[in-house]
Structure 1
Amino acid sequence: MSVIEMTTFTVDPENARAMLAARPGMVAAFREDRRGFLAARLVRLDARTWLDFVEWTDDAAWDESKAKGANRPAIAAFFATIGTLVGAERGVRYDDAEDGARRVRTVAYGPEPSQVGELYLPEGDAPFPVVAVVHGGYWTAMWDRRQITDVADDLVARGYAVWNVEYRRIGEPGGGWPGTFLDVAAAIDALDGMDPALDTGRVVLLGHSAGGHLATWAAHRGVLPPEAPGALPKITPIGLVELAGALDLKAADAAGFGKILADPGAEPPKDAPEPARPEAWAGVAAAVGDGIVPLLVDGHFAWTSPLELAGAGVPVLAVHGTADEAVPADWSRRYTEKVTAEGGRARYVEVEGGTHFDVVRPGHPVWAEVTGFIHEIVAGQA
């Protein structure tokens, strides 16, 4: 058992970034100065309201901490960003006798609600190689990272740390150009210093569909000019798995890729997940016009299209189904051909009869190709 302090407070949106920046210093000061402090977990309830779960060994430790207030500069700096205190309650934590849950936590890499990810840590001895996972969904706010948790569960069971990232998407503030690219870059770079259990010298990127595009783009950040969003990466991946990715943005633009979203009642691809935020569809439908690509890149194809950026770099596995209803397999095929022609290492696996979502199913036979590739790449860097 332990005592839980549940404090709800507001932060003006313009102060959210400063609050998150001050948070690590405040927690470090608590660890140094507050007897009985065990842990703190921050939850964002809405654009202005936050809930802080702070764990103490006993009631006396909590009382002593309240009496000290903002006695350290780092604590005062955090408190200064807070608008109003909504309330504070006390609870007692009881752990289940058989707690077999995996170690998973949500980590914010920015102040916006979509600038977060889930970090999964496996059992065993750290440091762990990392697979950074990027979900798809036409780069829009209707679909989120929950659609790819089966992949995260499978990979963490194989001994990998998994960073399942969210990012601002078309249909929410900051989504599209250039926010989506800035977020994916920031999310991957956030691995640097996130947790000592992570081996950031062994990071593999994996993405599906629109996330396949973003993961592939992220693998080529090192060749971007300094002025391009996402340039100058902190994390250099050792491999890339792209699954049914939209890798030729010029062809996608010419084909009106994503214009189906103008009709919320249109038939979705086979086995497509239900939208996590169907309320966002109306705004996307009104903006999508003849295709989603202009909203994503605003004409900056040279900085954003993997086919334009393709060259010798990290080893690549591209997997695509021949029966993909959403993204043409030819886009993955031509990308790997260009990487190979430029002297890089790329393997293209075409799944006969495979659909858009077959390639991201851990139970599908092609998944052995995916996990085998990741194992090979990670073992080669051990």
Structure 2
Amino acid sequence: MASREISDFAAEEERRVLSLKPALAPKRGRYGDHPNHSYDLWPAESAESAESAEFAEFAEFAGPVDTPGAPLVILLHGGYWRYDRMHLTPFAAYLAQQGFDVLLPGFRRSGGAGGYPETFDDIARIVDTLPEGRPYLLAGHCSGGHLALWCAARGLLPEDSVWHTRTLPTGVLALAPITDLEATRRDDLSDGAAVQLLGGIEEFEQRMAEVDPLTLLRGAGTTGVPTVLLHGAVDEEVPLTQFADYAAVHQDMRTVTLPGIGHYTLIEPGAPGARAVADTLWEMAAAFGAHRPGAGAGTIAHG
């Protein structure tokens, strides 16, 4: 397949966002024994102090904090299941400034210790362990959006699946997500990332049935989890058909389309796309009683 061609706009957006300086988290913790079983946490409204001297040494702690009145967001990073979470730390810090407790976990990834089944084992363990009984919003960008949608669909897995659960996220926000692994394989996104995730072309079809959001949703029509799919109208990284095809199957999902926004500015602190993400998270958090400090600002337009 020929190399992907993108516009100057998309190339500049990608360069600008992925070159941001990583943000130090005020706190961190672990949820397992593997070196990748770690997470960073930004308590609400503490992000401005994350790079101060008092946080120069990380403080290990046993579990997430509970800032009074702050919704918990578990944020799953993208990178086509291969790359680490450092590129998403500035956005995590930004969301903390918007009033959220933000937990950004690591997990075993393709090309290293992860892929099928380890990546999915870790994501299931994260959401089954780290909320500690709190209502929470699960948000993910790109391949992290795929993992978030998969978490919402775990209740649709056969009951004998190791990943089946009846304890699902309170809500899911999928940001420009990979929704269809077959289409991702067909379009050869990121040089065979979907095939690498599932361990090779020979295993692809069988394993896809367990971990592909679109496949799991067919027939059921809903995961039962309040879900919003938010994407930019000029995303050149993930084909727009992935968003439309998933929305056509998920009968009660809400779609937010942002005019003039690409793939990466959804996670660029302070950019219009990132502000829309924060607005949407607060709208979703209101469903379980959270109140935004200084509420009264205008709402965003929905596609």
Same fold per superposition (TM over 0.5): yes
Deviations 1:213-246 (A, max 9, x none): 1111112112222343432265x21211111111
Q: Residues of 1 paired with 2:161 and 2:277: CA distance?
A: 31
- Greater strand fraction, Structure 1 or Structure 2: 1
Deviations 1:94-145 (A, max 9, x none): xxxxxxx9973221111111111112222595264210000011111xx211
What does residue 187 of structure 2 align with?
A: 255
Q: How does 1:350-369 map to 2 (within 5 A)?
A: 350-369=257-276
**Cα offset for 1:168?**
0.5
What does residue 278 of structure 2 align with?
A: 371
**Cα RMSD (Å):** 2.3
Check if 1:170 corresponds to 2:77. no
Q: Residues of 1 paired with 2:264 and 2:25: CA distance?
A: 27
What does residue 137 of structure 2 align with?
A: 204
2:245 aligns with one of 334, 354, 358: 334
**Cα offset for 1:149?**
1.3
Q: How does 1:1-382 map to 2 (within 5 A)?
A: 104-122=26-44, 126=68, 128-140=70-82, 143-173=83-113, 175-193=114-132, 200-232=133-165, 234=167, 236-259=168-191, 291-297=192-198, 298-299=203-204, 300-310=207-217, 311-312=221-222, 313-340=224-251, 344=252, 346-382=253-289
Gap regions ≥5 residues in structure 2: 1-22, 46-65, 290-303
Secondary structure (helix, strand or coil) at the match of 1:363 reads coil
Structure 1 ranges of 4+ moved more than 4 A: none
Kindly provide the amino acid, as one letter, of the partner of residue 85 in structure 2: R
Q: Residues of 2 paired with 1:365 and 1:147: CA distance?
A: 18
TM-score (norm 1): 0.57
| Alignment CA distance shift 1:369-1:315 (3 Å) | farther
Contact 1:103 1:122 in 2 (8 A): no
**Equivalent residue pairs, number:** 237
| Alignment CA distance shift 1:258-1:377 (3 Å) | same
Contact 1:240 1:316 in 2 (8 A): yes
Percent of aligned positions that are identical: 34
Q: Residues of 1 paired with 2:274 and 2:254: CA distance?
A: 15
TM-score (norm 2): 0.71
Kindly provide the amino acid, as one letter, of the partner of residue 195 in structure 2: P
Secondary structure (helix, strand or coil) at the match of 2:272 reads coil
Secondary structure (helix, strand or coil) at the match of 2:26 reads strand
Contact 2:139 2:172 in 1 (8 A): yes
| Alignment CA distance shift 1:125-1:163 (3 Å) | closer
Deviations 1:302-337 (A, max 9, x none): 211111223322222212223323211211122122
Contact 1:136 1:212 in 2 (8 A): yes
**Cα offset for 1:153?**
1.2
Q: Residues of 2 paired with 1:192 and 1:213: CA distance?
A: 20
Secondary structure (helix, strand or coil) at the match of 2:146 reads helix
| Alignment CA distance shift 1:294-1:233 (3 Å) | farther
Contact 1:333 1:348 in 2 (8 A): no
| Structure (1 or 2) with the larger CA radius of gyration | 1
Q: Residues of 2 paired with 1:295 and 1:377: CA distance?
A: 34
Contact 1:244 1:318 in 2 (8 A): yes
| Alignment CA distance shift 1:207-1:125 (3 Å) | closer
**Cα offset for 1:248?**
0.7
